[in-house]
C-alpha cells in the first residue's frame, strides 16, 4: 500500500471528535494520509525532569508533573481570562494564565495531574509560566512520583483551533495502529534512494513523528525532502513538451532578412538584446525545439528581440505567431510589425476575436496556404479553424496572463514549434526552476541607451493640486499624461476616487486639452479608438484603470499619476510606472496616496521610491505576499511542500531534475521494474495535480 492510498476520513479515527475533525480541516487535513503527512514543525526534549524550582533557578523550561489546585479568573469581567494554579511534586506553586483558551478549564479540572512544559518567571511575586504546553502524564505515572525516564522527544505540530500537540500525536499514533498494518511501500526508484542514502519512506515518516533521538531526525527529514521535490519535479517534467528531445534536423538560419532589418533600425541593439538574440538563435538552430522564457523589465525591448529572432525562420520559409493577452497589446504589436517588417517584404496579419466573418475567412485561407509569414493576435490565434502551413515559432507576450492549456493549444497548431515566453514580471530563479520544468531563461537587464531614469514622487491626496500644476506644465510643453484609479465608477462601499468621475473632473482642471477614458468595461472598438487618439496625440490626458498596466507604449507620455497608489500591488505599480520613460524625454511618476495607509501600503510605496529594478521589486513582492500570489503561480505545487524549502533545498531540486530528465526520456511510462513505486503512485494517487504549474 502507498501512503497516498489512505484516503479514509480522519473522522473514522478513534478519539477524533467533531471539534478535532473541524480543526484538522482548517489545517487542510481530512484523510488519514494527510494526517500522517502533517509533519511536526519542531521537537522538544522532555527526557530530563526540570521541576518548577529548578527551572526558575536555571532560567530554563520546566518539565515536570503537577496537580491542578485551583481555577481563578482575571481581567475584565465580561471577558475574563482563566488562570490554572498548579503545584508540582516538590510542592512549588505556579500560575498558568490561559489567554484565549477558556476551554482548558474543562480539560484540566481541579485535582487533575498534568505534565507541564514551559519557561517560568517571577511576576507579581509569584511563579508564572506564560507560554506553556500541557499534556497528560506519561502512561503508568504514579501521582507525586518523579517523572523519571518516561519523558521523551515530543513533536510540536502546526495547530489550529483547540487542537494541541498531544491530541495530534495521539491521532497520528491511532492512525498508524488502525490503518497501517504493514509498512508503506516505497515510491522512489531504488537507485535514487541508494545514491542519496535515503531511508525507506515508512521508517522515515515514523521517525519524523516520534524520533527516538534528535540525531535520528536528519536522515528522516532528508528523505522526506527528497520525496517531495522528486514528485514535484516529476509532475513538472511529465507535462507535454516539458522535456524536449532532439527530434528534427538542425536548422541553418539565413542572415539576409535580419541584416536588412538592422540596417533600417534607427538605433543600435543594447548589449543584452544582442546576447539574448544569440541565445535564442542557438536554440532555434538546434535539433531540440526551444522552450525559453525571456524576462525583461517593461521597456527593455523584448518585442524587438521577438521580431529579430523570427526573421531567419521567416527567411527559411516558416511561419511565426505572436500572441498577446489583450486586443490592445496585440494591435500595438501588429502595428509595430507592420512598421518594421512590412518594408522587408514580410507578410503580416492581425487576428483577433473581433474580425468579421468575411475577412476572417480570407485571412485563415492565407494562413493555411502559408502566404502569411508573421501573424499577431490574441487568444483567437488558437481557436478552431486556425491552421498554419508551417508554424515553426510561437512567441507569447506577457506569458503569465495565459493558462497552461491556452499556451499548449497554440503550440499544437504546429509540429513542436519553438516557444518563446516573454514576461515583464520577473520570476525569481527558485520559482522558475520549480514551476517551469525544462524552461531556459534569458534576461534583458539593461534599458536602451538614452533612457532617463523615471523620477518618482509621492504626494498626499490632500495636496494633489501640486501634481496637477506639474502635469499642466508638461502638457503645455506638448507632453501627455496618464491618470490611473483603482475603480471604474464611483462605489457606495468604497470611499475612493474612480476613473469615470475623475475623467470629468480632470477635463475641467486641464482646460483646452482632450481627456480620454479607458477601462475594461468599454468594448474593444471604443477602447481601440481612445488608444489611437492617445498614441496619435489627440488625447492629452488618458484616465484609466489598471488596464493600461500591460505593454501600452506611447513615447510622448511623460507623466504617470497613480491616485490611491496604496491600493495597488507592487507589481501593478511597477508595470504602471513602466508606461512612461519610454523615450529620451524625462518622465515622472506620482504616487498619490490617501490619508490612511496600511503598513503594507507604506512598504509598497517605500519600495517604489527606493528602486526601479523590476527584479528587486519582484523579490519584495514575494516577501510581502508570499509565492502563492505571484502572477501565474497561484496553483503552483510548491505551496504544498511541507518538508522542503526551495531556497535551502535548491541543490536537491536540481539533482532531482537531472535524474528525472534522464529517467523520463528513457522510461516515460515508468514501465521498468525498478519504477514500480512511481508507476503505482502516479496511477493511483498522484501527489500533484496536472494543473499545478504555470507553463
Residues of this chain that interact with Mg ion (CB under 5 A) are 551
Question: Which of Mg ion, ligand ADP, none does 269 bind, CB closer than 5 to 8 A by kind?
Answer: ligand ADP
Stretch that binds ligand ADP, among 69-77, 293-301, 524-532, 684-692 (CB under 6 A): 293-301
Which of Mg ion, ligand ADP, none does residue 377 bind (CB under 5 to 8 Å by kind)? none
Which residue in 11, 433, 25, 6 sits closest to 201, CA to CA? 6
Shortest reach from residue 325's CB to ligand ADP, in Å: 13
Q: Which of 95, 133, 327, 553 binds ligand ADP (CB under 6 A)?
A: 553
Q: Which stretch binds ligand ADP (CB under 6 A): 301-309, 313-321, 511-519, 623-631?
A: 301-309
Q: Which residues contact 607 (CB under 8 A, 6 or more apart)?
A: 570, 616, 617, 620
* CB of residue 119 to ligand ADP, shortest distance in Å: 55
Cell numbers of 457, please?
514622487
Instruction: Return the number of the residue (452 or 606) whose C-beta is nearest ligand ADP.
Output: 452
Q: Does 424 bind ligand ADP (CB under 6 A)?
A: yes
Q: How far is CA 473 from the centre of its chain?
A: 41
| The entry of Mg ion, ligand ADP, none that residue 545 binds, CB within 5 to 8 Å by partner kind | none
Minimum distance of ligand ADP from residue 534's CB (angstroms): 15
Helix (H, G, I), strand (E, B) or coil at 81: strand
Give all strands (DSSP E) within 545-628, no chain letters.
557-563, 588-593
Q: Which does 74 bind (CB under 5 to 8 A by kind): Mg ion, ligand ADP, none?
A: none
User: Between 35 and 328, whose beta carbon lies closer to ligand ADP?
Assistant: 328
Q: What is the 3-state secondary structure (H, E, C) of 320-378?
A: EEEECCCHHHHHHHHHHHHHHHHHHCCCEEEECCCCCHHHHHHHHHHHHCCCCCEEEEC
* Among candidate residues 45, 310, 77, the one with its CA nearest the CA of residue 155: 45
Please check whether residue 11 is in contact with residue 21, taking contact to mean a CB–CB distance below 8 angstroms: yes
Cα 121 to chain center, whole Å?
43
- Residue whose CB is less far from Mg ion, 324 or 467: 324
CB of 582 to ligand ADP, least distance (A): 5
Non-local CB neighbours of 492 within 8 Å, separated by 6+ positions:
none
* Shortest reach from residue 334's CB to ligand ADP, in Å: 13
Rounded to the nearest whole angstrom, what is the least distance from the CB of residue 336 to Mg ion in the complex? 10
> Segment near ligand ADP (CB under 6 A), from 275-283, 297-305, 494-502, 508-516?
297-305
Element (H, E) at 517: strand 515-518
Residue 270 interaction partner, one of ligand ADP, Mg ion, none, beta carbon < 5-8 Å per kind: ligand ADP
Q: How far is the CB of 276 from Mg ion (least distance, A)?
A: 14
Give the binding range for ligand ADP (CB under 6 A) out of 29-37, 188-196, 299-307, 593-601: 299-307
Contact 232, 434 (CB under 8 A): yes
Residues 6+ apart with CB under 8 A from 675: 189, 663, 667
Question: Which helix (DSSP H) or strand (DSSP E) does residue 292 occupy?
Answer: strand 291-296
What is the C-alpha separation between 277 and 436, in angstroms, rounded?
A: 21
Per partner kind, with CB cut-offs from 5 to 8 A, the member of Mg ion, ligand ADP, none near residue 399 is none
Closest CB to Mg ion among 414 and 551?
551
- By CB under 6 A, residue 552 contacts ligand ADP: no
Shortest reach from residue 134's CB to ligand ADP, in Å: 59
Q: Is residue 292 near ligand ADP by the rule CB under 6 A?
A: no
We find the least distance from the C-beta atom of residue 306 to ligand ADP, in angstroms, to be 8
Distances in Å between the Cα of 392 and the Cα atoms of 75, 376, 422 are: 73, 14, 17
| Alpha-carbon torsion, ordered 234, 238, 242, 245, to 10 deg | 110
Kindly provide the b/e burial profile for residues 296-335, where b requires at least 16 CB atoms within 10 angstroms of the residue's own CB: bbbbbbbbbbbbbbbbbbbbeebbbbbbbbbbbbbbbbbb
Strand 132-135 versus strand 113-118 pairing type: antiparallel
C-alpha grid cell for residue 75?
A: 481581567
Report the C-alpha gap between 471 and 291 in whole angstroms. 44
In the bound complex, which residue of the shown chain has the CB atom lying closest to ligand ADP? Answer: 301
Q: Which residue, 525 or 584, has its beta carbon nearer to ligand ADP?
A: 584
Q: What is the DSSP letter of 487?
A: B
Residue 448 binds which one of Mg ion, ligand ADP, none, with CB within 5 to 8 A depending on kind? Answer: ligand ADP
Distance, CA of 470 to CA of 558 (rounded, Å): 11
Kindly state the smallest distance separating residue 561's Cβ from ligand ADP, in Å.
20
Q: Which of 303, 459, 545, 636 binds ligand ADP (CB under 6 A)?
A: 303
Window 571-600: residues binding ligand ADP (CB under 6 A): 582
Residue with Cβ nearer Mg ion (395 or 656): 395
Q: How far is the CB of 616 from ligand ADP (least distance, A)?
A: 17
**What is the length of the chain?**
695
For ligand ADP, which stretch binds (CB under 6 A), given 244-252, 294-302, 413-421, 483-491?
A: 294-302
Minimum CB–partner distance for residue 44 and Mg ion (Å): 53
| Partner that binds at residue 299, options Mg ion, ligand ADP, none, CB closer than 5 to 8 Å by kind | ligand ADP
Task: Say if strands 121-123 and 126-128 run parallel, antiparallel, or are unpaired.
Answer: antiparallel
Site for ligand ADP in 253-272 (CB under 6 A): 267, 269-270
Residue 501: how many CB atoms within 10 A of its CB? 14
299 binds ligand ADP (CB under 6 A): yes
Q: Supply the minimum distance, in Å, between the C-beta of residue 405 and Mg ion.
A: 23
Q: Which is nearer to Mg ion, 551 or 655 (CB)?
A: 551
Looking at residues 427 to 456 of the shown chain, list those that interact with ligand ADP (rule: CB under 6 A).
448
- The minimum distance between CB 538 and Mg ion, in angstroms, equals 24
C-beta of 84 vs 560, nearer to ligand ADP: 560
Is 240 or 343 the residue whose CB approaches ligand ADP more closely?
Answer: 343
Query: Which of 198, 205, 235, 304 is the binder for ligand ADP (CB under 6 A)?
Result: 304
Three-class HEC string of 9-64: EHHHCCCCCHHHHHHHHHCCCCEHHHHHCCCCCEEEECCCCECHHHHHHHCCCEEE
**300 is a contact residue toward ligand ADP (CB under 6 A):** yes
CA dihedral 532, 569, 693, 547 (to 10 degrees): -10
Instruction: Supply angle C-alpha 27, 30, 34, rounded to 5.
Output: 75
Judged by CB under 6 A, the residue of 298, 386, 592, 692 near ligand ADP is: 298
What are the residues binding ligand ADP (CB under 6 A)?
A: 267, 269-270, 273, 296, 298-304, 424, 448, 553, 582
Amino acid at each position: 500500500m502507498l501512503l497516498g492510498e489512505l484516503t479514509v476520513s480522519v473522522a473514522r479515527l478513534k478519539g477524533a471528535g467533531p471539534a478535532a475533525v473541524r480543526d484538522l480541516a482548517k489545517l487542510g487535513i481530512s484523510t488519514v494520509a494527510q494526517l500522517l503527512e502533517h509533519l511536526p514543525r519542531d521537537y522538544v526534549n522532555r527526557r530530563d525532569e526540570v521541576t518548577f524550582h529548578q527551572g526558575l533557578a536555571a532560567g530554563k523550561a520546566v518539565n515536570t508533573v503537577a496537580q491542578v489546585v485551583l481555577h481563578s479568573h482575571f481581567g475584565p469581567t465580561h471577558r475574563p481570562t482563566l488562570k490554572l494554579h498548579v503545584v508540582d511534586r516538590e510542592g512549588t506553586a505556579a500560575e498558568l494564565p490561559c489567554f484565549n483558551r477558556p476551554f482548558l478549564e474543562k480539560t484540566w479540572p481541579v485535582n487533575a495531574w498534568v505534565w507541564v512544559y514551559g519557561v517560568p518567571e517571577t511576576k507579581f511575586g509569584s511563579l508564572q509560566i506564560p507560554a506553556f504546553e500541557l499534556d497528560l502524564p506519561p502512561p503508568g505515572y504514579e501521582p507525586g512520583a518523579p517523572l523519571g525516564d518516561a519523558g521523551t522527544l515530543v513533536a510540536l505540530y502546526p495547530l489550529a483551533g483547540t487542537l494541541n500537540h498531544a491530541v495530534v500525536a495521539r491521532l497520528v499514533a491511532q492512525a498508524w495502529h488502525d490503518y497501517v498494518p504493514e509498512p508503506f511501500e516505497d515510491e522512489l526508484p531504488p537507485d535514487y534512494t541508494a545514491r542519496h542514502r535515503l531511508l525507506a519512506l515508512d521508517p522515515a515518516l515514523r521517525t519524523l513523528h516520534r524520533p527516538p533521538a534528535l540525531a535520528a531526525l536528519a536522515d528522516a527529514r532528508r528523505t522526506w525532502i527528497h520525496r517531495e521535490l522528486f514528485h514535484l519535479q516529476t509532475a513538472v517534467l511529465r507535462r507535454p513538451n516539458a522535456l524536449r528531445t532532439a527530434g528534427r534536423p538542425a536548422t541553418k538560419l539565413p542572415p539576409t532578412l535580419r541584416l536588412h532589418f538592422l540596417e533600417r533600425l534607427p538605433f543600435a541593439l543594447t548589449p543584452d538584446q544582442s546576447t539574448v538574440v544569440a541565445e535564442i538563435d542557438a536554440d532555434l538552430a538546434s535539433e531540440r525545439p526551444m522552450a525559453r522564457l525571456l524576462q525583461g523589465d517593461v521597456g527593455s525591448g523584448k518585442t524587438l528581440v521577438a521580431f529579430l529572432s523570427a526573421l531567419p525562420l521567416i527567411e527559411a520559409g516558416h511561419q511565426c505567431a505572436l500572441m498577446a493577452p489583450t486586443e490592445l497589446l496585440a494591435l500595438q504589436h501588429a502595428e509595430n510589425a507592420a512598421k518594421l517588417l512590412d518594408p522587408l517584404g514580410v507578410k503580416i496579419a492581425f487576428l483577433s476575436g473581433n474580425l468579421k466573418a468575411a475577412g476572417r475567412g480570407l485571412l485563415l485561407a492565407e494562413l493555411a496556404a502559408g502566404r502569411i509569414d508573421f501573424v499577431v493576435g490574441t487568444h483567437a490565434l488558437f481557436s478552431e479553424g486556425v491552421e498554419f502551413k508551417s508554424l515553426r515559432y510561437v512567441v507569447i507576450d506577457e506569458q503569465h496572463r495565459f493558462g497552461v492549456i491556452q499556451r499548449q493549444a497554440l503550440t499544437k497548431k504546429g509540429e513542436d514549434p519553438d516557444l518563446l515566453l516573454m514576461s515583464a514580471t520577473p520570476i525569481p530563479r527558485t520559482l522558475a526552476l520549480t514551476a517551469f520544468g525544462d524552461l531556459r531563461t534569458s534576461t534583458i537587464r539593461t534599458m536602451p541607451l538614452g533612457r532617463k531614469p523615471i523620477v518618482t514622487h509621492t504626494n498626499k491626496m490632500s495636496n494633489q493640486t501640486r501634481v496637477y500644476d506639474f502635469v499642466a506644465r508638461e502638457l503645455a510643453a506638448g507632453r501627455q499624461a496618464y491618470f490611473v484609479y483603482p475603480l471604474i465608477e464611483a462605489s457606495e462601499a468604497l470611499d475612493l476616487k474612480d476613473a469615470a468621475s475623475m475623467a470629468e473632473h480632470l477635463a475641467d482642471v486641464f482646460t483646452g486639452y482632450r481627456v480620454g477614458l479607458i477601462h475594461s468595461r468599454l468594448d474593444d472598438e471604443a477602447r481601440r479608438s481612445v488608444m489611437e487618439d492617445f498614441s496619435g496625440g489627440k488625447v492629452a490626458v488618458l484616465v484609466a484603470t489598471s488596464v493600461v498596466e500591460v505593454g501600452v507604449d506611447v513615447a510622448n507620455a511623460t507623466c504617470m499619476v497613480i491616485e490611491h497608489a496604496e491600493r495597488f500591488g507592487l507589481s501593478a505599480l511597477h508595470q504602471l510606472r513602466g508606461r512612461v520613460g519610454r523615450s529620451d524625454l524625462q518622465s515622472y511618476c506620482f504616487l498619490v496616496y490617501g490619508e490612511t495607509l496600511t503598513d503594507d501600503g507604506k512598504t509598497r510605496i517605500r519600495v517604489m521610491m527606493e528602486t526601479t529594478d523590476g527584479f528587486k521589486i519582484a523579490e519584495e513582492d514575494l516577501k510581502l505576499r508570499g509565492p502563492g500570489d505571484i502572477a501565474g503561480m497561484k496553483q503552483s505545487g510548491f505551496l504544498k511542500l511541507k518538508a522542503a524549502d526551495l531556497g535551502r533545498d535548491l541543490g536537491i531540486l536540481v539533482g532531482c531534475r537531472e535524474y528525472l530528465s534522464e529517467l523520463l526520456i528513457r522510461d516515460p511510462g515508468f514501465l521498468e521494474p525498478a519504477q514500480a513505486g512511481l508507476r503505482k503512485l502516479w496511477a493511483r494517487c498522484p501527489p500533484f495535480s496536472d494543473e499545478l504549474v504555470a507553463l
